[in-house]
Chains A and B, each alone.
Chain A
Amino acid sequence: DAGVTQSPTHLIKTRGQQVTLRCSPKSGHDTVSWYQQALGQGPQFIFQYYEEEERQRGNFPDRFSGHQFPNYSSELNVNALLLGDSALYLCASSLVDGNEKLFFGSGTQLSVL
């Protein structure tokens, strides 16, 4: 049973570019959350998707957008990249109804030059 898988594992972009990160949730999970983890900091909540809709959103600008597909996989898009967007982006999945806990992927390390 695969856990949460994310791609790519590493990515280098330049300022102003756009990036798309991908996530496949743990088998059986229907909810995907995205977190940004800056170096030496705890993860910061970006948003959560359930039933292909954005269910909750943290304090991130509109440059950060997402999508969830019918198979529950998800994408995180970031437009107009800034140097400060450099971070580890973590995807986490869970089940809205039930006792399944939040399960994290290994993340995508984004470097903006």
Chain B
Amino acid sequence: GENVEQHPSTLSVQEGDSAVIKCTYSDSASNYFPWYKQELGKRPQLIIDIRSNVGEKKDQRIAVTLNKTAKHFSLHITETQPEDSAVYFCAASWDHTGNQFYFGTGTSLTVIP
């Protein structure tokens, strides 16, 4: 089955700096890669996703890049704000319709004001 690894497990940045979280996957059949943000005690919320036919996607301060050959994808947050503090999870799946998602172990991001 698929195996998703996520690094780092914790990340602290100063407000305004950039944050980068990296994930690798093992199954070349995976072609959908969402990122979720989970605040303490709340539901995971989809913040951005990318399909395997695209190398990069951007939404305001958030971007995701995908390298299919190397089987890794990354989340980039620019101009970080205190409200970006949360746990971020990457995931891999065959598609977006809810087929089994394989999640990474999460990155706890702290943005220091």
Contact = CB atoms under 8 A, between A and B. Distances in A.
B89 A43 contact: yes
Given A42-B103, A94-B98, A104 B43 contact: yes
A106 B49 contact: no
Interface size bracket, A side: 20 to 34
Interface in A46-104: 48, 56, 58-59, 90, 92-104
A31 B98 contact: yes
A83 to B, nearest CB: 21
A19 to B, nearest CB: 20
A106 B96 CA distance: 20
Q: Chain B contact residues (Cβ within 8 angstroms of A): what range?
A: 20 to 34
B102 A45 contact: yes
A107 B40 CA distance: 12
Contacts of B78: none
A40 B43 contact: no
B43 A105 contact: yes
Main secondary structure of the interface of A (DSSP, over half): loop
B29 interface: no
B98 A104 contact: no
B61 interface: no
Contacts of A35: 101
Given A42-B89, A45-B100, A102 B34 contact: yes
A45 B104 CA distance: 12
A44 B2 CA distance: 12
Interface of B: 1, 4, 6, 34, 36, 42-46, 49, 89, 91, 96-106
Given A31-B97, A100-B97, 18 more contacts: A4-B43, A35-B101, A40-B106, A42-B6, A42-B106, A44-B103, A48-B99, A48-B100, A93-B98, A94-B98, A101-B34, A101-B49, A101-B96, A102-B34, A102-B97, A104-B44, A104-B45, A105-B43
